Amino acid sequence: MTNESFIPNPPPRPNHYLDEQFWENCRNHVLAFQCCTSCETWRHIPRFMCAKCGSPDWEWRQSSGKGIIYSWTVVHKPMTPHFESIFPYAALVVEMEEGVRITAGLQDLDLDKIEMDLPVEVVFETLENGAVLPFFVPRKD
Amino acid sequence: MIDFRDKAAIVGIGETQYVRGANKPSAEQMLESTRIAIADAGLQPKDIDGIVLPPVLITAEEVAANLGIEDIRYSVSVNMGGASPITALQSAAMAIASGVAENVVVTVGWNGYSAMRPKPGVKVVEKISLAAMERTLTNYYFPYGCASPVQMYAWMAMRHMKTFGIENEAMGAVAVACRKHAQFNDKAINRGKPLDMEGYMRSRMISEPFRLYDCCLENDGAATVVLTSAERAKDLPHTPVYIMAAAEGHPYPADDIANRPDMFKIGLHNSAPKAFAMAGVKPTDMDFLQVYDCFTYVVLMQLEALGICEQGASGEFVKNGNIEIGGKYPLNTHGGLLAQAHVWGLNHAVEAVRQLRGDAPPEVQVPDAELGLVTGWGDFGDGSLVILRK
> Model ipTM?
0.90
Whether pLDDT at A86 is above 80: no
Q: Measured between alpha carbons, how far is B72 from B64 in angstroms, rounded to an integer?
A: 7
What does each C-alpha distance from A108 to A65, A71, A90, A139, B143 come to in angstroms?
Answer: 16, 17, 11, 10, 19
pLDDT band at A5 (very low <50, low <70, confident <90, very high): very low
Cβ distance of A70 and B257 shorter than 8 Å: no
Cβ distance of B139 and A79 shorter than 8 Å: no
Cβ distance of B143 and A93 shorter than 8 Å: no
* Domain spans, chain A: 13-62, 64-141
> Which of A8, A44, A105 lies nearest to residue B138, judging by beta carbons?
A8
Q: B132 lies in a domain?
A: no
Nearest to B174 by CA among B292, B291, B296, B295: B296
- Which is higher by pLDDT, A86 or A102? A102
Whether residue B69 is preceded by a cis peptide bond, meaning omega within 30 degrees of 0, is no
Q: How many domains does chain B have?
A: 1
Q: B261 lies in a domain?
A: yes
Q: Measured between alpha carbons, how far is B215 from B211 in angstroms, rounded to an integer?
A: 7
β-partners of residue A78 are none
Please state which CATH number belongs to domain A64-141.
2.40.50.840
Cβ distance of A45 and B129 shorter than 8 Å: no
Average pLDDT, chain B: 94
Ranges of H-type helices in B45-83: 60-67
B224-252: pLDDT as tens digits: 999 999 999 999 999 999 999 999 999 99
Q: Which range among A14-18, B49-53, B324-328 shows the weakest confidence by mean pLDDT?
A: A14-18
Nearest CA in chain B to A77: B206
Cα-Cα end-to-end distance for chain B:
24
Range of the domain at B269: 8-115+217-389
CATH code for position B348? 3.40.47.10
B336-351: pLDDT as tens digits: 999 999 999 999 999 9
What per-residue string of b and e applies to B243-264 under the rule 16 or more CB within 10 Å gives b? bbbbbbbbbebbbbbbbbeebb
Residue A105 in contact with partner chain B when CB distance is under 8 A: yes
| B223 three-state secondary structure | strand
A83: closest CA of chain B, how far (Å): 6
How does DSSP assign A18-42, residue by residue? Answer: HHHHHHHHHHTT--EEEEETTT--E
pLDDT band at B127 (very low <50, low <70, confident <90, very high): low
